[in-house]
Amino acid sequence: MRSISLSQKEIGNLIREVARRTLNRIPVTNQYEFIRVKDGDIFFILHNTGKIVFQESKGFDSFLDDILVREDHSIIGTDEVGKGEWYGPLVVAGIALNPDETIKLRKMGVGDSKGLSSFRIYEIGKFLEKSDIEKATRILLPEEYNKMYEEFEKEKKNLNDILAWAHTEIIQDLLTKAPSEKITVVIDKFDSSASSERFKKLDEFDVDIIQKTGGESETAVAAASVLAKLIFEKHLKKLNQKFGLDLRNADPGDIPEDILPIVAKLHFRNVKKVLKG
């Protein structure tokens, strides 16, 4: 079973399409369900939250084509993984989607990586890596990250400034590749002062930039989140294998001090505590 979150307009489209096709509605099973439909190879449950849970089929794919609202322009989304972990890299990824690609990924059930199983992250991430969808990444392994953090700190800057730099670099890359048409850039919101200064570099492209809390609700941001998560996990696995560690379940105090700069972000309090003895 897969799931998609629908907008109010799409919920209206769904209700009208169920009626137009005279699809067979069956009784809901609890107070959280709004509509249940089972008709031939079409089976889905629409929840009160606007989330639709469905069984994949040709019939339902055709049904989705009739209810999903197409964007009229391309959207660039960026997201990062690793900023809250003391171990592993910081990965920032960006995805540029045209209207057809947005619909395709929504049908796949693309959502924020926090809500997906490890298998789905791998499956969708691999699809994104192999596809022709425009994408860009910045990967800061701990050694490079620590060096950059130290340099930024000398200028009285912090992690938010590093994030703003990485997001801006990625957006520039994608805007350079994107066709000359209307494009909206959506980014998950972080420190506005740091990002606003960096985003001035994008003025030459004449695009709308939207910073929003919960940006993963945008398909392009959700896809970027999945790609960043896949890359983070790949590099974490390499570090674990190289040093015989299980960083996710370890404490900085469990790691030899000479290895910490290679596997850890040194400005985290728990890491500093170990290094200070």
The predicted-structure confidence for 212-255, as pLDDT tens digits, reads as follows 766 567 899 999 999 999 999 999 999 999 999 999 999 999 99
CATH no. of 2-67: 3.30.310.10
pLDDT tier at 190, thresholds 50, 70, 90:
low
Mean pLDDT of 64-93: 94
Locate CATH 3.30.420.10 in the chain.
74-237
Name the pLDDT band for 112 (thresholds 50, 70, 90): low
What integer is the mean pLDDT of 77-88?
95
CATH number of the structural domain 74-237: 3.30.420.10
Confidence grade of residue 53 (pLDDT, cut at 50, 70, 90) = very high
Q: What's the CA gap between 265 and 6, in Å, rounded?
A: 39
pLDDT score, position 214? 64
DSSP 7-54: PHHHHHHHHHHHHHTT--EE--SSTTEEEEEEETTEEEEEETTSEEEE
Residues of the chain with CATH 3.30.310.10: 2-67
